[in-house]
Amino acid sequence: MKPAGWAGIAAAGFLAALSLGTLAVVAVRAESGAGFGPADLAAIRFTVTQALASAALSVLLAVPVARALARRRFAGRGLLITLLGAPFLLPVIVAVLGLLAVFGRAGLVSSALAALGLPPLDIYGFRGVVLAHVFFNLPLATRLLLQGWQAIPGEHFRLAAQLGMTSRDIARRLERPMLRAVLPGAFATIFLLCVTSFAVALTLGGGPGATTVELAIYQAFRFDFDLGKAAMLALVQFGLCAGAALVAWMVAVPAAFGGGLDRPVARWDCHSLASRLADAAALALVSVFLLMPLLMVALSGLGGLADLPPGLWRAALRSVLVALASGALAITLALALAGAVMRMEVGAARFAGLLEASGYLSVAASPMVIGTGLFLVLFPLADPAALALPVTALVNAAMSLPFALRALIPALRDVERDYGRLADSLGMSGAARFRLLTWPRIRPAAGFAAGLAAALSMGDLGVIALFADADAVTLPLLLYRLMGSYQMAAAHGTALVLVVLSLGMFWLFDRGGRFHAAA
């Protein structure tokens, strides 16, 4: 086997150790394990219901938005795409405060209602959890679908125009087959993210009826120190995620659109007023929904800039370095894994599937269990505080890997299918093939993946909290400390700095990768 294959296997082994190995470590350390009570079963039921609703709503709403973005060209389109990605990258508490500033009892909508003599909105409860999850995940769904649209070569639309196809024909011949291929994966991804969600459900859930499995895991650690139960619940979470992934895999059918010349996509079918209005409405609505909370975060943050705490910029530098390391790690792991998957698909398809699955393990894992397992392994060997930053970079790279692979593997597959034989016949191989053929084509996917990893690790508060060094705080920790000591104004200012840096980081990577930028 070539070295690249071994690198992929090593990456897969590492990921399996990180998600399943840590679970095993926690389970081995457990002394007792209480069985599941009715509260745990209720938590499992709530988790699945809200995740199904959130994922379905996110994906359905994303279709018109992604279509509008795919077939319209307008000034500020690139900026809009970047900004629409923001909610996904926000630290949860910041996003919740932004959402409440718009939809809360004292928020903009309720104030407007009050002016009309109507009672305030009440978003707490199941609807609040779903609203927040849609806010977080609609942008991701839009991004995933947009990639699907962009994978249809411009030549197809050109041909469709020559054949006199209407929008409806194009939807039937091109867009629906694409959605059929892309939607199940997008749905499953968002379902998984909502399954492992934790803080959102608690703040907006309105009561203990809104308890997710991840919260039950947290409770098992903190309230009962019952490692056995925590491990069992983490297994249940794995089961739920594996089930969802399996269903998505069985439902999805690959769409093969073949190669193109990477011409800018032009559409001749959608000049009618009705279609223009529909697209404008979709974009306007989603912009208001996603950007208003962001704007509120920015506004209250500006007021807090005068109160920024000492140590903010040191914390910011630390966070940026962790984010850069995490982005680089994510790309390395993803390329190693994706490369090995491609290589094995030829001869050892089953093994390739296994390898690919290892990349998705982390999204199903409980961050609490990963953190605790790593702590148990590393504590006897080294000072946890000294490892806080490297571990944060590493775990977040692993956490963003599913997105990296979702973007990279299809891109690599397309390259091989469309240009592989040509490159073989030209005798292109090794570094030259990667540099001249592969890299230019997977750059957008790679940039997107690295940007995600960087931004996610920037906002991380899970792993770092367990390892934290009292003196080396990161921005999210600082934010939380401020909130924990009454200093809301300073917290708002810090949140703004965090949001700007996260978004900037994502933009830098993502921008570096987008080749459709010409369009």
Residues contributing to the site for another protein (CB under 8 A)? 39, 42, 93, 96-97, 100-101, 104-106, 119, 124, 128, 199, 202-209, 215, 218-219, 221-223, 225, 309-311, 317-318, 321, 372, 375-376, 379-380, 383, 385-386, 389-390, 465-466, 468-472, 477, 480-488, 491
Q: Are 361 and 16 in contact (CB under 8 A)?
A: yes
User: Three-state SS across 389-431?
Assistant: HHHHHHHHHHHHHHHHHHHHHHHHHHHHHHHHHHHHHCCCCHH
Residue 485: CB atoms within 10 A of its CB come to 11
**Beta carbon nearer to another protein, 139 or 373:** 373
**Under 8 Å between Cβ of 13 and 349:** no
Q: Select 119 or 164, whichever has its Cβ closest to another protein.
A: 119
**Of 169 and 383, CB closest to another protein:** 383
Closest separation in Å from C-beta 487 to another protein = 7
Q: Give the Cα separation of 296 and 135 in Å (integer).
A: 14
- The residues, ordered by sequence, that sit 6+ positions from 277 with a Cβ below 8 Å of its Cβ are none
What do you get for the CA distance between the two ends of the chain, in Å?
41
Alpha-carbon span 178 to 180, nearest angstrom: 5
Closest distance of CB 297 from another protein, Å = 12
Min dist CB 35 to another protein, Å, is: 14
User: Both tokens of residue 494?
Assistant: 């810090």
Q: Measured from the CB of residue 199, what is the shortest distance to another protein in angstroms?
A: 6
- The distance of closest approach from Cβ of residue 484 to another protein in the complex, given in angstroms and rounded to an integer, is 4
Closest separation in Å from C-beta 138 to another protein: 23
DSSP output for 111-147? HHHHHTTPPPP--TTHHHHHHHHHHHHHHHHHHHHHH
Nearer to another protein, 190 or 200 (CB): 200
Q: Specify the residue for token string 């279609």.
A: 275
Q: What is the smallest separation between the CB atom of 79 and another protein, expressed in angstroms? A: 25
Q: Could you tell me the smallest distance in angstroms from the CB atom of residue 49 to another protein?
A: 14
Which residue, 142 or 203, has its beta carbon nearer to another protein? 203
- Give the nearer residue to another protein in terms of CB position, either 470 or 518: 470
Q: Distance between CA 494 and CA 473 in Å, rounded? A: 13
Q: How far is the CB of 319 from another protein (least distance, A)?
A: 11
Specify the amino acid at residue 120.
P
* CA–CA separation, 282 and 277 (whole Å): 9
Question: Between 389 and 445, whose beta carbon lies closer to another protein?
Answer: 389
Q: With DSSP H G I counted as helix, E B as strand and the rest as coil, what are the percentages for the chain, rounded to 5?
A: 80, 0, 20
Q: How far is the CB of 14 from another protein (least distance, A)?
A: 21
Most distant CA pair in the chain, distance: 75
Give residue for tokens 């990577």.
509
User: CB count, 10 Å around CB of 55?
Assistant: 26
Q: Output the smallest distance, CB 507 to another protein, in A.
A: 17
What is the rounded distance in angstroms from the CA atom of residue 90 to the CA atom of residue 113?
28
CA distance 295 to 101: 10
The residue among 298 and 483 lying less far from another protein, judged by its C-beta, is 483
What's the closest the beta carbon of residue 335 comes to another protein, in angstroms?
Answer: 22
What whole-number distance in Å separates Cα of residue 112 and Cα of residue 144?
35
Contact partners, residue 351, CB within 8 Å, separation at least 6? 344
Q: Is the CB of 266 or the CB of 321 nearer to another protein? A: 321
| Residue 140: Cβ within 10 Å count | 23
Nearer to another protein, 275 or 487 (CB): 487
Of 12 and 315, the one with the shorter C-beta distance to another protein is 315
**For residue 76, is it left (φ>0), alpha (ψ between -120 and 50) or beta?**
left
66 versus 324: smaller Cβ distance to another protein: 324
Question: Residues 363, 19: contact at Cβ < 8 Å?
Answer: no
Distance from C-alpha of 132 to C-alpha of 188, rounded to nearest angstrom = 18
